Amino acid sequence: MYKEVYNPDYLKAAAEKYAGAPCIAADELPKSGSSRVYVRFTFQNFPSIIGAYNQDVKENEAFFSYTRFFLTRNINVPQLLWVDGGKRYYLLSDLGNETLYSFLSSHRDGHELGAETIHYYREVIKQLPLIQLSGKCGIDFSVAYPRYAFDRQSMQWDLNYFKYYFLKLVNIPFDEQLLENDFDTLINYLLQADSDFFLFRDFQSRNIMICDERVYFIDYQGGRKGALQYDIASLLYDGKADIPAEVREQLLDFYMDELSKHISVDRRDFKERYTAFVLIRIMQAMGAYGFRGYYEKKAHFLLSIPYAVNNIKYLLAHWDIPVQIPALREVLKKITECDFESYSKQNTDKLTVTITSFSYKKGIPQDLSANGGGFVFDCRALPNPGREKQYSHNTGQEKVIIDWLEKYPEVEEFKSHVNAILDMSVENYMSRHFTHLMVNFGCTGGQHRSVYFAESLKKHLEEKYDVAIVLKHTVIDSWTK
């Protein structure tokens, strides 16, 4: 398959030509969820500028068109300085490194956001209606990509994203036909909202910059026609931003106050539909977390899942969506009963060892740290208490099984070899400041031998090393769900 090769020298030459000076540094910025390349070019006596490369010309055309329109409306977006004739390379004004999310993270006091952070959220919300009303003021939706509007097709894509890249990847059980029926019901309800506005699409704290004490907006190239509720839902239910519920309600009221300065607002109807848009936005985000985290093995996306789950818990406890979607509500309830906390609680300052017991009938567990696996120890050659009827309901955590296994010399020998191998690896990983190691123990049923060795290794490592341990028993843990 043909793929154009990004040429960093070409982008650098364009930046130097624009600045009229040689650059003294060219620093590629970290990537997030896209394949776009961003480079900060620094000069001796000229302001730094951002160079960008994106092979997707249609996406770029949407970004260029929206940027030019927003600038005519005095909406705070980056200046578009130069565009290559092929529309794959371009230059932007540099808005710095401070996002609303990074500001929030460094200024919050525990769960409280703080007055400065809330001030910036209010500044964002003041501009949001101006962005949204662009949909009624002549913005060119013909460039919208990949869809002209957040219509039935867009919503179906998002819900399928959630179904296939989250529900199926984390093995949440559901009746596919009943769930599809509920998807249709939810979509039909959402489509009743006025949708002639500009929908930013990914209106969240990482796409809002703070520069010279003003807020600026980036990453709106996915914008399209849509309803007002979606973007404010995206902002206030932004997963890792973790906005307290009472602050969300205050900011929602503030948004409706600001919106009322421009158009008439039926607050009751707005809030009723708002909850449904919160729901579809959360499901879209969870599909992204699943795809990027479980499928592409980008572990940092998994850290957002517990926050999204907390938002689902809040929705379920304050449910006011006036349509019947029982299969979807049951799926959401099952999500809240799963344990996604281990990855959010890991201490990244020291080595985290994930120890898992499993059944070979169910398959070897995935490594979610994005480090490419670890150790898999096959315990099936060892004596099996599961063959004896009186032990069928016991597990490797119980004294009766521990005593039974430890009477066999080969069990102690196996454990000794495992401990020696792990000692060597842990000491090496710690010396190199690695953060993750995964160790799996498998047996036939995942109930006795594998559980015993997982528990034994946990105890050994905790007694010997300053490491964080995440222990999972995939079979017996599932009994309590």
The tens digit of pLDDT for each residue in 397-409 reads 999 999 999 999 9
The full DSSP string for 155-185 is HHHHHHHHIIIIITTTT----HHHHHHHHHH
Neighbours of 143 (CB within 10 A): 20
66 found inside a domain: no
Q: Are residues 145 and 51 in the same domain?
A: no
Burial class (CB in 10 A: 0-12, 13-18, 19+), 164: middle
More confident call, 341 vs 182: 182
Residues 254 and 366 in one domain: no
pLDDT of residue 3: 53
User: Is the predicted pLDDT of residue 178 greater than 70, yes or no?
Assistant: yes
- pLDDT exceeds 90 at position 341: no
228 belongs to a structural domain = yes
Residue 1: the pLDDT is: 41
pLDDT at 159 over 50: yes
- pLDDT of 212-268, one tens digit each? 999 999 999 999 999 999 999 999 999 889 999 999 999 999 999 999 999 999 999
Buried b (16+ CB within 10 A) or exposed e, 41-53: bbbeebebbbbbb
DSSP state at residue 30: P
- The span from the CA of 291 to the CA of 321, in Å, is 27
Q: Supply the pLDDT for residue 141.
A: 96
Tell me the Ramachandran region of residue 147: left when phi exceeds 0, alpha when psi lies from -120 to 50, beta otherwise. Answer: beta
pLDDT of residue 147: 92
In this prediction, residue 373 has a pLDDT band, given cuts at 50, 70 and 90, of low
Residues 298 and 281 in one domain: yes
Q: Which of 13-17, 169-173, 389-393 has the highest mean pLDDT?
A: 13-17
Return d(Cα 108, Cα 393) in angstroms, integer. Answer: 48
* pLDDT tens readout for residues 72-126: 999 999 999 999 999 999 999 999 999 999 999 888 877 788 899 999 999 999 9
Classify 455 in phi/psi space as left (phi over 0), alpha (psi -120 to 50) or beta. alpha
Last residue of a domain, one of 44, 69, 93: 93
Alpha-carbon gap, residue 42 to 27, rounded angstroms = 8
Among 336, 365, 380, the domain-final residue is 336
Q: How many folded domains does the chain comprise?
A: 3
The CA-CA-CA angle for residues 184, 185, 186, to 5°, reads 90
- pLDDT, one tens digit per residue, over 276-333 is 999 999 999 999 998 887 777 666 677 788 899 999 999 999 999 999 999 999 999 9
Share of the chain above pLDDT 90, in %: 76
Backbone angles phi, psi at 26, to 5 degrees: -135, 105
Q: Is residue 227 part of a domain?
A: yes
- Long-range contacts from 344-348, C-beta under 8 angstroms, 24+ separation: 344/303, 344/305, 344/306, 344/307, 346/435, 346/436, 346/468, 346/470, 347/468, 348/435
Most confident of 19-28, 423-432, 472-481: 19-28
Q: For position 229, which CATH number holds?
A: 3.90.1200.10
* Owning domain of residue 430: 352-478
Taken in order 236, 241, 242, 243, is the CA torsion positive or negative?
negative
- Tell me: do 179 and 291 sit in the same domain: yes
Token pair in block for residue 375: 């150790």
Across 384-409, average pLDDT:
92
Q: What is the mean pLDDT of the chain?
A: 91
Together in a domain, 153 and 209: yes
pLDDT at 372 over 70: no
Regarding whether 168 and 141 lie in a shared domain, the answer is yes
Question: Both 149 and 260 in a single domain?
Answer: yes
Domain-located, residue 242: yes
Neighbours of 397 (CB within 10 A): 16
| Residue 476 confidence (pLDDT) | 86
Give yes or no for a contact between 396 and 357, defined as CB atoms under 8 angstroms apart: yes
Is 346 within the bounds of a domain?
Answer: no
Alpha carbon distance 152, 155 (integer Å): 5
Long-range contacts of 348-351 (CB under 8 A, 24+ apart): 348/435, 350/430, 350/435, 350/466, 350/467, 350/468, 351/426, 351/429, 351/430, 351/434, 351/435, 351/436, 351/437, 351/465, 351/467, 351/468
Shared domain check, 109 and 89: no
Cis peptide upstream of residue 173 (ω within 30 degrees of 0): no
The answer to whether residues 130 and 84 belong to one domain is no
Largest CA distance in the chain: 83
CB 360 within 8 A of CB 366: no
Are residue 239 and residue 106 in the same domain, yes or no? yes
- Structural domain includes residue 436: yes
Domain-terminating residue out of 272, 303, 336: 336
Cα dihedral sign, 46-48-49-53 = positive
pLDDT score recorded for residue 213: 95
Q: Which residues pair with 149 in a beta bridge?
A: 225
| The pLDDT of residue 348 | 46
Domain shared by 35 and 167, yes or no? no
Q: Does residue 186 sit in the same domain as residue 327?
A: yes
